[in-house]
Amino acid sequence: MTSVTLTIAGSDSGGGAGIQADLKTFQELDTFGTSVLTAVTAQNTEGVHAVQPIQTDIVIAQLEAVLDDFTIGAAKTGMLFSSEIIEAVAETIRRYPAFPLVIDPVMIAKGGSSLLQQSAIDALKTHLIPLATLLTPNLPEAEVLTGVSIKTLADMEFAAQHLLKMGCKAVVMKGGHREEASFAEDLFMSAEGDSFLMKSKRIETKDTHGTGCTFAAAITAELSKGQTIADAVITAKHFIQAAIEDGLNLGNGHGPTNHAA
């Protein structure tokens, strides 16, 4: 039977990140993607030009429409923008039978535009992270969520423990922002005590727009097909590595990772 996946995220008109990246990835990995739009961004490969959040009652109406009708194999959240949207999404998800939930704590786009209001960070920690099967922060996001300054692998481990204490079942911390390293190290850690490092060669490319969204969407697709959290993360890591290696030189800025790689 076809697995149904769900993304709760923002639209990227440039098609490389957000809802568009998620749906393309869901499709590529043989799942049926559904979507709940939280915000519209006017965006291309060069940056974000404008952001308009969707009214919270319309966000929730979309979510209820999907959850009332489909059996969700797994879901992910991306750009949620405000504490009001975060609280309403968390409250709604809690009213339905549980499904694996990947939370990509999206905060800032590559060009520096804010995709999450400062006041929403506490809401993310209090309301959403405790519902997460897996949290997928990059290093700057992990630093904001934990207050830990992350320079070394030991710092990553310390911050991951801190995030697990917030109530998520597992964390994969993406090490790509540690620029001094010639390889990227991603750290997986679960509340059950599993942990491992995924090392990959750093790929020199400017075409990495949407990498985080695509990685979290690939994990979500694999979870929906019944993989364990750790196996879904490993499969998705191979997928994103190929997607970055095969990045698309489109537009004048950061081209998108290739969702069909």
- Which residues contact ligand PLP by CB under 6 A? 9-10, 12, 17-18, 41, 43, 78-79, 106, 109-110, 115, 209-213, 254
Token look-up 């489109």 returns: 250
Would residue 212 show up in a list of annotated catalytic residues for this protein?
A: yes
Q: Provide, rounded to whole angstroms, the least separation between the CB of residue 162 and ligand PLP.
A: 22
Would residue 213 show up in a list of annotated catalytic residues for this protein?
A: yes
Instruction: Identify the helix (H) or strand (E) that includes residue 142.
Output: helix 139-146
Would residue 208 show up in a list of annotated catalytic residues for this protein?
A: yes
Q: Could you tell me which residues are beta bridge partners of residue 35?
A: 7
Would residue 211 show up in a list of annotated catalytic residues for this protein?
A: yes
Q: Provide, rounded to whole angstroms, the least separation between the CB of residue 12 and ligand PLP.
A: 4
The residue among 12 and 28 lying less far from ligand PLP, judged by its C-beta, is 12
Q: How far apart are CA 115 and CA 196, in angstroms?
A: 30
The residue among 67 and 79 lying less far from ligand PLP, judged by its C-beta, is 79
The residue among 17 and 63 lying less far from ligand PLP, judged by its C-beta, is 17
Contact (CB, 8 A) for 259 and 24: yes
Q: Provide, rounded to whole angstroms, the least separation between the CB of residue 131 and ligand PLP.
A: 19
The residue among 17 and 85 lying less far from ligand PLP, judged by its C-beta, is 17
Active-site option among 10, 78, 212, 247: 212
Could you tell me how far CA 152 lies from the centroid of its own chain?
23
Sheet order of strands, 74-77 included? 47-53, 32-44, 4-12, 74-77, 101-103, 134-135, 170-173, 183-190, 195-201
Residue closest to ligand PLP when measured from CB atoms? 18
As annotated, the active-site residues are: 174, 208, 210-213
